[in-house]
Structure 1
């Protein structure tokens, strides 16, 4: 089993998940190969703290044991973990300077999201029952695809498919998104062009500030 280990110690490990690999097991014998199963083949006490969509690549932290899992899960819940993603979206999202959240040019999007149970695994915008979600985004320099824009995405909350839904709601779906993009936009990339590039948090035992960055593969 291939496992790309970015960092490990006696308490946790940071892994680079490839696109196309589940974070946790799915239903059926064909969906048992996943990131946490591969981690447990190396560290039997490895436990899931957070997940990336199957189609999303990038950095994931796993806990070694239930106590560290509890501490890391609490850090995520308290928004003490800094996450940065990179994506390539269809078209060119307009930048509204009046909506900028900082001098660095971050734009803000907030929408109430809810699991779309009849159409699982999708989520949807639901103004009546949805849970608050917030993402900061801005343009990013890098390799350019014609008719598309590279963005940095900083999720403040962590709802299911939040980044994919927020980009779709802006009218600029992520290229290769099989769930939320139009067939034409989906077909513009061989995979979902969404990558968890950066992960930063305090080590739950030592309180050392840990910062990891993984090169974007697109």
Structure 2
């Protein structure tokens, strides 16, 4: 238990206690501070107060920060398709419906659990719940991703992502007919201003660039190839919805009424290419479209 004590001086009179503590503990979020207050870990003059309490001169604030619980992610015998593996990395063809890594409240049934069962030498750069994870694809997006087996390969792969030199090519089925053959969507993407679950094109977001090319047009849909220049959360899903062509089956950014019985968006990470962290040679991997995806395309072709 870490205990911190503060005596309020003239500079912090009338400041909310949660705001004051958020500034005092720069590595803690305001929501975390409010949780401490609500759970009785913050006392002002030996009494519990609410988060909106306005501090007074000479108030004594005592904060008790509990020791973090040790997280243990257990190996699980979950079948995974390994496309390539060596002493530095693993390339996996992730199926739709499989979450990449554990998150608070959900520490089982993920790709990481499966990888820990397969091998015990994943990189530790991303901590306990994301060992080896260099980049992610959404739960309901299928396809290729690379996992690092040691810290050196992790850093070199992450650097390629940062420099936008890693090749990432996706196949997406979208609503509506795209008229242009090729295009580039260059916007800023950040958290949605009203719905915090969603991402959106916003003024204060981070730059996101997606290049697309039409592969096939159907009566009311278009099959496109999307190449990521950047890798923001939900980037392709947000960008295609932004230009009026949401992904078929997308439960967040797509149409409410779906013509097919799908478990998520029609998005497949088809191709991944990068410089191998040890050999320095360019390698590239490709995965075929899953059966459910091919079935939908066949139905559209027969219409």
TM over 0.5: yes
Structure 1 165/189 Cα, relative in aligned 2: closer, same or farther at 3 Å? farther
Task: Tell me, yes or no, if the aligned pair for 1:26 and 1:32 is still in contact at 8 Å.
Answer: no
5 Å-filtered alignment, 1:76-95, equals 76-95=161-180
Could you say which residue in structure 2 is the equivalent of 1:55? 140
- Give 1:120 shift: 3.3
Secondary structure of 2:257's counterpart equals helix
Structure 1 58/93 Cα, relative in aligned 2: closer, same or farther at 3 Å? same
Structure 1 188/172 Cα, relative in aligned 2: closer, same or farther at 3 Å? farther
Task: Let me know the Cα RMSD of the aligned residues.
Answer: 1.6
Could you say which residue in structure 1 is the equivalent of 2:249? 176
Structure 1 90/122 Cα, relative in aligned 2: closer, same or farther at 3 Å? same
Task: Tell me, yes or no, if the aligned pair for 1:49 and 1:69 is still in contact at 8 Å.
Answer: yes
Could you say which residue in structure 2 is the equivalent of 1:99? none
User: Residue 41 in 1 paired to residue 117 in 2?
Assistant: yes
- Give 1:94 shift: 2.4
Secondary structure of 1:140's counterpart equals strand
52-61 or 62-71, which deviates more: 62-71
Could you say which residue in structure 1 is the equivalent of 2:266? 193
Structure 1 116/10 Cα, relative in aligned 2: closer, same or farther at 3 Å? same
User: Residue 13 in 1 paired to residue 99 in 2?
Assistant: no
From 12, 22, 29, give the equivalent of 2:99.
22
Q: Between Structure 1 and Structure 2, whose CA radius of gyration is higher?
A: 2
Gaps of 5+ in 2: 1-77, 123-131, 294-303
Task: Tell me, yes or no, if the aligned pair for 1:16 and 1:58 is still in contact at 8 Å.
Answer: yes
Could you say which residue in structure 1 is the equivalent of 2:226? 153
User: Residue 212 in 1 paired to residue 288 in 2?
Assistant: no
Task: Tell me, yes or no, if the aligned pair for 2:177 and 2:218 is still in contact at 8 Å.
Answer: no
Task: Tell me, yes or no, if the aligned pair for 1:20 and 1:54 is still in contact at 8 Å.
Answer: yes
Q: TM-score scaled by structure 2?
A: 0.64
Structure having greater relative contact order (Cα 8 Å, sep ≥ 6): 1
Spell out, residue by residue over 1:195-215, the C-alpha distance to the aligned partner (whole angstroms, 9 max, x if none). Answer: 000000110100121110100
Gaps of 5+ in 1: 96-104
From 201, 216, 223, give the equivalent of 1:125.
201
Spell out, residue by residue over 1:78-124, the C-alpha distance to the aligned partner (whole angstroms, 9 max, x if none). Answer: 111000000100011221xxxxxxxxx53111111102375333111
Q: Distance in 1 between matches of 2:287 and 2:151?
A: 26
